[in-house]
Structure 1
Amino acid sequence: MDSLTQIVLGAAVGEVVLGKKVGNKAMLYGAIAGTIPDFDVFASYFTDTVTALSIHRGFTHSIVFSVLFAPILGWLVSRYETYKNFKDWSWLFFWAFVTHPILDAHTTWGTQLFWPLDLRLAFKTIFVIDPLYTLPFLVFLILAMLQKRTAHKRQFYNKLGLIISTSYLLLTFLLKGIAYSKFEAALATQNIAYLDLDTRPSPLNTILWSANVETEDAYLLGNYSFFDSQPITFDSYPKNHELLGNLTEEESVKRMIAISEGWYTITQKKETLYFNDLRFGLLSITPKSNNFVFKYRIDVDASGKLTFTEEPKNNRDGKKLLSELWQRVKGN
């Protein structure tokens, strides 16, 4: 999830653990701890694209990380804070650390919660930014913050924020199940034979859902809004995996295929190949658009070294997508 959401969650968790004893400092340290697992993004400044993608939401988003680093930070804080209980501070950091990847596991990218096991949890029930999850949570956190640390209302507001946000998170599983069944029914009605079906919410909401459908030679992409009145339609995108040729033997290509969980297409522009990660869809819902959210240029230098470079996105693409999504959410 986005940084603001993780700050709010971390602060609320910190309040549960130590709010009665240290007041707003519990929220402050919880908020800080809630952002620490995302420090793995700095890997992109020190390594290549493929390695950075592999690291993202890996070790720092694991139970192992929480267990190892919570006592260290708990000890450091207990050395200079007035409240000296090392165990309590360690518990605050542990719960703020571990709830971060648990929440991230509900997004499309998912997390390696059980690192070093090669298992990524990705429930794909909520977009990385969802105002319906974050804003009510934030409001109740602020209300709690304004109360005295021993006030009953402080605990009430904080717990209410946690209950409402968690309830919404659970609701997203039901919404995903309904959307999934709608896509299944549409595929059956249109007599489309498919190998796999994957669904996810569209940006900023859980009303409009997107589907990736794998067939023998292509992927079908479709959208469904709970306000739709017309049948679901699918647009076909050729896999073009054969364009990779002998590059499929390259380790970096194998890693990219694994990172995308096999949901990728290859496109070619002149002599240049592009690797498109389908899990995050397109920067436009216009049919047959090839403007994928995550698109990587494949380059091979004179020595035969292969590199992936993410194609830049501009603000116009984002604004255009938000405008299109707003219209699409309202139904077809």
Structure 2
Amino acid sequence: MDSVTQVTLGAAVGEAVAGREAGGKAPVWGGLLGLLPDLDVLANPFLTEAQSLTFHRSVTHSLVFAIVATACVAVGLRRLHSDTPVSLRRWAGLAAAALFTHIGLDCLTTYGTQIFWPFSQYPVILGTVFVIDPLYTVPLAAGLLASLRGTRSDRIFFGMPRRWLNYAGLGLSSAYLLVTLVNKWHVNRVFGGALARQVPSAERFLTTPTPFNNLLWRGVAEADDGYYIGFYSLLDDDRSIHFRYVPHRHDLLGDTRENTVPRRLRRFSRGYYIVRRAPGGDLRIHDLRFGRNDLGLTSEGQYLFTYHLQEGPGGRITGMRQEEPPIRLTRPLLRKFWARIRGQTAVVPPTLNAKPE
């Protein structure tokens, strides 16, 4: 998830675990620890772009790191705040809560979190929430901020202490995550049924929520020579899905397919990628999991995760450069997006009979 959400979550669980004993130190340290795993990006200047893709959410997002860091942080905080009546066990609980909730929340996104490092580089991808989801973050932040106003002993509704507002925010946001799991299960059933009817040759598929919501979902199915991409909203009147066909053109990589950079990109994308040759002759790889900058609602969108392959002598791939297309969320596009979320299916991607990309 985004850093703001992770800091908020860390502060909220820090307050819940140690707020009564540590006072204002609990949400501050919880927030900092909630940000700690994402500081792996500080290693990027020392890595190639291809290496940085798979290094992020690996070492610092592993269970091993969380366990070791919890012990070290607990000892450090106990010594730093020796004048505060907080036990070593309580500091350890705060650190563990902030670190493990960060890792767990990232597992719910589509990027991939290597929680089993160093034993395995397999990325856990549940894909139930978008990386920025206000319906999760806003209740969490509201409960935390409301609980920190005044003193923790203040009584509010029905004589409850003010700190219970933080528990309420954590409860609501956690309940929302459970709802996204149910939504994912339902959406997978819908896409599976539609693919069985329309694309029986599909070998596998993934579904991900579209930006900033959990109602409109995007599915990508892999077949022999390409992918089928479609959208489904929980507010649609029926379960019919219009799929757009996208040829993968993996053959364009030729003998370079097993070079280090293409192999790393294949692993990062979990195999959901297409290859295109630019007008100048350069090869580009597009990761299909993250969609396009037009939210999939026009025929002119550019893929958000695009990698320009750099070729050396003999056509060998020597490196890559990530290209980030501009994101122009115009009012007409946002209106189309809102209409599609509400189940108005008049705005849909081209069907299977349309000209492929």
1:256 is the counterpart of 2:265: yes
Task: Report if aligned partners of 2:194, 2:241 keep a CA contact under 8 Å in 1.
Answer: yes
Partner of 1:48: 48
Partner of 1:97: 99
Task: Report if aligned partners of 1:222, 1:232 keep a CA contact under 8 Å in 2.
Answer: yes
1:297 is the counterpart of 2:308: yes
Tell me by how many angstroms 1:276 deviates: 0.7
The 1-side partners of 2:191 and 2:89 are apart by 49
Tell me by how many angstroms 1:109 deviates: 1.0
Task: Report if aligned partners of 1:283, 1:291 keep a CA contact under 8 Å in 2.
Answer: yes
Task: Report if aligned partners of 1:143, 1:157 keep a CA contact under 8 Å in 2.
Answer: yes
* 1:105-116 mapped onto 2 (5 Å cutoff): 105-116=107-118
Partner of 2:201: 193
How has the CA–CA distance of structure 1 residues 77 and 159 changed in structure 2, closer, same or farther, with 3 Å as cutoff? same
Coordinate RMSD, CA, aligned: 2.1
Between 1:304-313 and 1:26-35, the stretch displaced more is 304-313
How has the CA–CA distance of structure 1 residues 305 and 258 changed in structure 2, closer, same or farther, with 3 Å as cutoff? closer
The 2-side partners of 1:180 and 1:40 are apart by 33
The 1-side partners of 2:248 and 2:290 are apart by 16
Tell me by how many angstroms 1:132 deviates: 0.6
How has the CA–CA distance of structure 1 residues 92 and 306 changed in structure 2, closer, same or farther, with 3 Å as cutoff? same
1:137 is the counterpart of 2:140: yes
Task: Report if aligned partners of 1:20, 1:150 keep a CA contact under 8 Å in 2.
Answer: no
The 2-side partners of 1:191 and 1:63 are apart by 39
| SS of equivalent to 2:162 | helix
Partner of 2:191: 183
How has the CA–CA distance of structure 1 residues 216 and 287 changed in structure 2, closer, same or farther, with 3 Å as cutoff? farther
Runs of 5+ unmatched residues, structure 1: none
Partner of 1:313: 325
| SS of equivalent to 2:320 | strand
Partner of 2:71: 71
Task: Report if aligned partners of 2:58, 2:121 keep a CA contact under 8 Å in 1.
Answer: no
Tell me by how many angstroms 1:30 deviates: 0.3
Match of 1:120 among 117, 123, 131: 123
Task: Report if aligned partners of 2:208, 2:219 keep a CA contact under 8 Å in 1.
Answer: yes
Partner of 1:247: 256
Task: Report if aligned partners of 1:2, 1:129 keep a CA contact under 8 Å in 2.
Answer: yes
Tell me by how many angstroms 1:118 deviates: 2.2
1:130-159 Cα shifts (integer Å, max 9, x gaps): 111110111111111125234552342122
Amino acid of the residue matched to residue 217 of structure 2?
W
Between 1:280-289 and 1:169-178, the stretch displaced more is 280-289
| SS of equivalent to 2:290 | strand
Partner of 2:9: 9
Amino acid of the residue matched to residue 273 of structure 2?
Y
Task: Report if aligned partners of 1:280, 1:294 keep a CA contact under 8 Å in 2.
Answer: yes
Partner of 1:20: 20
**TM-score for the superposition, normalised by structure 2:** 0.87
1:280 is the counterpart of 2:280: no
The 2-side partners of 1:90 and 1:107 are apart by 27
How has the CA–CA distance of structure 1 residues 3 and 143 changed in structure 2, closer, same or farther, with 3 Å as cutoff? same
Amino acid of the residue matched to residue 287 of structure 2?
D
Tell me by how many angstroms 1:312 deviates: 2.3
Tell me by how many angstroms 1:174 deviates: 1.0
Task: Report if aligned partners of 1:264, 1:275 keep a CA contact under 8 Å in 2.
Answer: yes
Task: Report if aligned partners of 2:207, 2:217 keep a CA contact under 8 Å in 1.
Answer: yes
Task: Report if aligned partners of 1:23, 1:148 keep a CA contact under 8 Å in 2.
Answer: no
Amino acid of the residue matched to residue 149 of structure 2?
L
| SS of equivalent to 1:115 | coil
Tell me by how many angstroms 1:69 deviates: 1.7
1:221 is the counterpart of 2:224: no
